[in-house]
Amino acid sequence: MIAPDRRGFARGVFSRGFDDVLNKIFAWWNGATIGTLFTIAKRGRFVGTDEFGNKYYEAKDHSSYDGRKRRWVVYEGYADATKVSPDWHGWLRYTFDLPPTEAPLLRRPWEKDHLPNLTGTPMAWRPQGSLAAEAKRPAATGDYQAWTPE
């Protein structure tokens, strides 16, 4: 027997496939939609992939943006602009002519690796004393004098 899902519909192979098709049609925030995939197949040229799995494309023609080829990214998973690393960001915004696959940025030894915005995730930074932090707030040092109205 196939167990019903939270909406009461039976979950089988067909319904999972149907949900995938609906997600491709309507869920633009979680990967590319069918329209985007069609546009990529018709007008795009694959340029490369970054360390987060995002795929980068460039238009085959010079039809838009003042004679420049249009460039775009298809996010892996949830669409979040902070997942684009600085080198790919520079290529997307026409700061660099060549993509990082052909001309990678020079990395300095003191530079840290790019991280997406982790706010709202379990990996977010929580300072000491924060309600979300596990550590206890440090005790007052006695150098504070409370204001009292006169």
At 77-87, the pLDDT tens digits run 888 889 999 99
* pLDDT higher than 70, residue 145: yes
State residue 120's pLDDT score. Answer: 83
Amino acid found at 96? F
Q: What is the mean pLDDT of residues 110-139?
A: 81
Query: If phi over 0 gives left and psi between -120 and 50 gives alpha, with beta otherwise, what is residue 72?
Result: beta
**Mean pLDDT of all residues belonging to the chain:** 79
Instruction: Identify the residue with better confidence: 36 or 51.
Output: 51
State residue 12's pLDDT score. Answer: 44
Q: Which residue has the tokens 């009292």?
A: 148
pLDDT (tens digit, 9 = 90+) per residue, 1-11?
444 455 444 44
State residue 1's pLDDT score. Answer: 43
State residue 130's pLDDT score. Answer: 77
Classify residue 90 as exposed, middle or buried by CB count within 10 Å of its CB (0-12, 13-18, 19+).
middle
What is the pLDDT confidence band of residue 63, given thresholds at 50, 70 and 90? low
State residue 28's pLDDT score. Answer: 60
Q: For residues 117 and 134, what is the distance between their CA atoms, to the nearest angstrom?
A: 21
State residue 60's pLDDT score. Answer: 87
